[in-house]
Amino acid sequence: DEANNDDKMILPDAFQNANILEIRLDATLASCYGLCRFLIYDITTGAKNVPGWQMSDFIMLGGAFSSCIVLSMVWSLVGIYTGVFKVRYSDEYNLMNTVLTAAIAGPLWLLVEIGCGWPPGGVIIATSDFTADSSNVMFTIVTGTIGLISVMCLGKAFTSGWR
């Protein structure tokens, strides 16, 4: 009993009321979105000069995985505080919490991706002058966030009855 009371003092209520299964499912869905963005980027960049896997391919893939990890972490933390993961005892679900979470988490995640130079967003910084391409940065943030909102809302809407 004392251990439970100590945990309640240490952890905020938002963390204690979070549904761990929902966090895991959302982190998986968000990571899939990040990997799809990378796949689309990789397909649209054209044929490679040298067939097969090169060291640069592993570095780009590592950057994409890193971006997905950051997205999952940011989504989870923001989602806990916006109430997306609250334990619910009914089938109703408020998609506006998902939109709010994506609208906050998306730009934060994409700023980290761009700043670290991870593809696809980070390619903007690696290939040009940051100040000259601020419109490209904004375009990447806006389109990436809209995509995140769409994927997360559709994923939540279509899978809410599966639990």
Counting residues of the chain whose pLDDT is more than 70, the rounded percentage is: 80
Please enumerate in sequence order all residues whose Cβ is within 8 A of that of 122, keeping only pairs 6 or more positions apart, or say none: 63, 67, 113, 114, 115, 116
Counting residues of the chain whose pLDDT is more than 90, the rounded percentage is: 40
Give the pLDDT confidence score for residue 81 in this predicted structure: 87
Q: 10 falls in which pLDDT band (50, 70, 90)?
A: very low
Q: How many domains does the chain have?
A: 1
Please enumerate in sequence order all residues whose Cβ is within 8 A of that of 148, keeping only pairs 6 or more positions apart, or say none: 30, 33, 71, 102, 105, 106, 109
Report the predicted TM-score, pTM, of the whole model to 2 decimal places.
0.82
Above 80 in pLDDT, residue 4?
A: no
Instruction: Note the pLDDT tens digit of each residue in 19-31.
Output: 888 899 999 999 9
Q: Tell me 97's DSSP state.
A: H
Instruction: Note the pLDDT tens digit of each residue in 42-73.
Output: 888 877 788 888 888 899 899 999 999 999 99
3-state DSSP call for residue 51? coil
**CA dist., res. 62 & res. 67, Å (int):** 9
Q: 136 falls in which pLDDT band (50, 70, 90)?
A: confident
Partners of 150 in the β-ladder: none
Q: 13 falls in which pLDDT band (50, 70, 90)?
A: confident
Above 80 in pLDDT, residue 80?
A: yes
Tell me the residue range of the domain where 134 lies. 2-162
